[in-house]
Chains A and B, each alone.
Chain A
């Protein structure tokens, strides 16, 4: 059994991720002090709140960057020396890198995370380490059901599994086509 670390298990999707990833190896929900790491799954889902662009505060942007970027970087840095050759890094965020109505600070942080994943995929590829981003829809919305959460966990297990060396630095969109629909572009009510 390989060692899989899941960070953010207490956030949305966390329970489903924990259940599913436990089938793939020995799962810990925080970084143990020692031991090799086969897969590092960092769960930072986006809960879209409707804050309009004009109302977002500097503190909100700072908070979003801390949670979705700097904390993720810190976790990767901490785990890095212990990642095995061929290890997998998976970040679970949202489709916010594409932009969305409300919460521009979260979308910016989501996009920064996608950029980070791409750059570490390029850098760590030499060690055989892969890094990918899973981009489901925003947590807590109408689409968010036990069935879709199970699909998010399934996709995370796929990205965390060994052997898929060709997929690296990618953002896997898992949003039931919602970002493809023009209805997304309509002016929201209220």
Chain B
């Protein structure tokens, strides 16, 4: 049985909420955080006693540090908070949009992971949520690059933190049924789902299962890895 506190960012909805639920079920004391504090509180209320919630903007280091200072048994950090991008070609995406996306998807992950690692003991687990998109995709170069950066950061962190007994891994989800899909017109969403091996977007719980495995005590020998949780869509596409 797992124990200790697991902090999940972006836990107010979607994949983050599913991860919080799964880790609570697995025996962790879950702290559900989200930039939308009400949504995080809703997650905590759904999960029942023992789960707490906090408003957290992962790009604000002082807030991240203050929140983590209040935890004395930090066991797991799940960097799930991230923002999506609409379909735009390389010529159209402004540098301001690049920076906005990277601030959350890359710099936010860095801040929470670094502050988390400082407060973890041997056996600590960091799990970063990347995306199948890190392998490439036309029409959202900034999102692809930001998720590739998450994978690069995962590997670099793993190289160093293994000496402290902390593992750092990533889960790269494929198409998942969350509000991130709301940006797509219904016909486009149907076309996207038709290209999935399962014919549909996955339940967020399917991603939470992969995260829970990496966060579990038994996964201590798995480090610096990326689990592609995409129903097999990427088979044949080589890793970076």
Is B118 a contact of A77 with CB atoms below 8 Å?
no
Is B106 a contact of A123 with CB atoms below 8 Å?
no
Measured CA separation A96–B152 after assembly (Å)? 8
Is A61 a contact of B136 with CB atoms below 8 Å?
no
| Residue in B closest to A121 when the chains form the complex, CB atoms | B136
User: In residues 213-234 of chain B, which contact A (Cβ within 8 Å)?
Assistant: 224
From A62, A97, A104, B148 is in contact (CB under 8 Å) with A97
B54 within 8 A of A: no
Is A99 a contact of B98 with CB atoms below 8 Å?
no
Is B136 a contact of A104 with CB atoms below 8 Å?
no
B205 cross-chain contacts in A, Cβ below 8 A: none
A102-121: CB near B (< 8 Å → 1, else 0) gives: 11110111111111101111
Binds B, one of A11-19, A29-37, A65-73: A65-73
Is B136 a contact of A54 with CB atoms below 8 Å?
no
A158 within 8 A of B: no
B1 within 8 A of A: no
Is B134 a contact of A107 with CB atoms below 8 Å?
no
B114 cross-chain contacts in A, Cβ below 8 A: 53-54, 56
A161 within 8 A of B: no
Given contacts A97-B240, A108-B153, A118-B144, contact A52 B102 (CB under 8 A): no
From B138, B145, B157, B224, A53 is in contact (CB under 8 Å) with B157
Measured CA separation A103–B90 after assembly (Å)? 28
B60-94: CB near A (< 8 Å → 1, else 0) gives: 01000000000000000000000000000111010
A100 within 8 A of B: yes
B141 within 8 A of A: yes
From B137, B146, B149, A122 is in contact (CB under 8 Å) with B137
Given contacts A58-B111, A108-B106, A111-B240, contact A116 B95 (CB under 8 A): no
Is B145 a contact of A119 with CB atoms below 8 Å?
yes
Measured CA separation A150–B196 after assembly (Å)? 45
Is B107 a contact of A58 with CB atoms below 8 Å?
yes
Measured CA separation A107–B157 after assembly (Å)? 10
B79 to chain A, nearest CB (A): 13
B139 cross-chain contacts in A, Cβ below 8 A: 123
Is A54 a contact of B102 with CB atoms below 8 Å?
no
Measured CA separation A107–B146 after assembly (Å)? 13
Measured CA separation A61–B114 after assembly (Å)? 12
Is B146 a contact of A112 with CB atoms below 8 Å?
yes
A70 cross-chain contacts in B, Cβ below 8 A: 95, 98-99
Could you give 8 example pairs across A and B, Cβ below 8 Å?
A52-B160, A53-B157, A98-B155, A100-B156, A101-B159, A111-B153, A119-B90, A123-B89
* Chain A residues close to B by CB (< 8 Å): 52-54, 56, 58, 61-62, 65, 69-70, 73-74, 76-77, 80-81, 96-105, 107-116, 118-124, 169, 171, 185, 187
If A70-B98, A119-B145 are given as contacts, then 5 extra A-B residue pairs at C-beta distance below 8 Å, sorted by A number, are: A97-B152, A101-B160, A112-B148, A113-B145, A124-B90
4 closest A-B pairs by beta carbon, nearest first, are A111-B152, A115-B148, A99-B155, A118-B136
